[in-house]
Amino acid sequence: MAEITAALVKQLREKTGAGMMDCKKALGEASGDMEAAVDWLRKKGLSAAAKKAGRVAAEGLVGVRTDGARGAMVEVNSETDFVARNEQFQQFVAAVADIALGSDGTLEGLMAADYPGSGHSVSDEVTSLIATIGENISVRRVTTMAVSEGVVVAYMHNQTVPGLGRIGVLVGLESGGDAAALESQGKQLAMHIAAAQPQFLDIGSVDGAALERERAVLTEQAKASGRPDEIIAKMVEGRLRKFYEEVVLLEQTFVVDNESKISKVIEAAGTTAGAPVKIAGFIRFGLGEGVERKEDDFAAEVAKLSS
């Protein structure tokens, strides 16, 4: 059995919002397996979390750039929000986003690319910036998106300056329709994605393991009702439909009108644009998601539970 450390308890608490003692018990029941512990808490009704979500603890900026049918997005982290407001840091993130637009979409390729006007690479510019600003800086991730016909649209939520902020979205629309209409619809879809945080494009793209895990949790919850197996099966299928509505983009309700299903919004967009529209893909970057600061005092508090 894995050792139930203070760090593990802390991580589980951040994922689920459950109490420290419940988290410690869940990890014990799950022999230290984090995902099994999350499921144990959910089955006991001690966690409302249906998906992984850690506390955002990294600072910095997300940068987006688009050019017609292509787009790019980067996340550059700093230790403090103070540095994120620094004009030199902002200029660096903007430049890296520009470079990413012409890159191969890999972090390695981006870091090896030439940094404009410097005579050295992006990686070397990071080192130089760290020395100048006096704070650790990291280009954490990069992504690119392209469509064969249509547009890639960007949206930045909590924008600091144009193209830079805390939540960035790229959405690709495949269509031979009017570009202006596609841009307008793409902007609204990107705003929806920023707010609703879908994980999958359609039901067919839902990860099989994630689906079976969800089904297992829902089955355990339904069994607690004491109803017959055939009723339990219907309950599970109904709750799975709700699950799809929460995590699948095309099944979600459009946040703009709080009424239409996204799949219907796309159908209507084709009429407006003058040609069928298809969502080729989407990407959402939330600043610092999945990265946490060290909290020594909290860890010490949790450690006392083992004594």
Q: In this predicted model, what pLDDT tens digit does every residue of 124-176 receive, in sequence order?
A: 999 888 878 878 889 999 999 999 999 999 999 989 999 999 999 999 999 99
Strand, helix or coil for residue 73: strand
- Contacts for 213 with CB less than 8 Å, ≥ 6 apart: 35, 39
Averaged pLDDT, 100-123: 94
Instruction: Supply the pLDDT for residue 220.
Output: 85
> Which one-letter amino acid corresponds to residue 44?
K
Strand, helix or coil for residue 115: strand
> Which one-letter amino acid corresponds to residue 210?
A
CB-based burial label for 237 (10 Å; 0-12, 13-18, 19+): exposed
Per-residue b/e over 145-166, b at no fewer than 16 CB within 10 Å? Answer: bbbeebbbbbbbbebbeebbbb
- Architecture label for domain 59-200+256-286: 2-Layer Sandwich (3.30)
| 8 A C-beta contact, residue 110 and residue 100 | yes
pLDDT grade for 50, boundaries at 50, 70 and 90: very low
Instruction: Supply the pLDDT for residue 132.
Output: 84
Averaged pLDDT, 22-32: 88
Instruction: Give ∠ CA 56-60-64 in degrees, rounded to 5.
Output: 105
Does the global pTM surpass 0.85? no
- In angstroms, the CA 216 to CA 239 distance is 12
- In angstroms, the CA 11 to CA 151 distance is 39
pLDDT grade for 49, boundaries at 50, 70 and 90: very low
- DSSP letter assigned to residue 54: P
Pairing mode, strands 137-146 and 150-161: unpaired
| 8 A C-beta contact, residue 154 and residue 190 | yes
What residues does CATH 3.30.479.20 cover in the chain?
Answer: 59-200+256-286
Q: State pLDDT tens for residues 242-286.
A: 889 999 999 999 999 999 999 999 999 999 999 999 999 999 999
- The CATH superfamily holding the domain 1-55+292-307 is Ubiquitin-associated (UBA) domain (1.10.8.10)
Instruction: Supply the pLDDT for residue 51.
Output: 37
pLDDT grade for 194, boundaries at 50, 70 and 90: very high
With 80 as the cut, is the pLDDT of residue 298 above it? no
Candidate from 12-26, 49-63, 229-243 with smallest mean pLDDT: 49-63
104, 164, 168, 198, 285 from 77: Cα distances, Å: 21, 12, 14, 24, 12
- In angstroms, the CA 252 to CA 270 distance is 19
What residues does CATH 1.10.8.10 cover in the chain?
Answer: 1-55+292-307
The H or E element that residue 190 is part of is: helix 179-196
With 60 as the cut, is the pLDDT of residue 202 above it? yes
- DSSP letter assigned to residue 251: G
Instruction: Supply the pLDDT for residue 293.
Output: 52
Of 119-128, 258-267, 290-299, the range with the highest mean pLDDT is 258-267
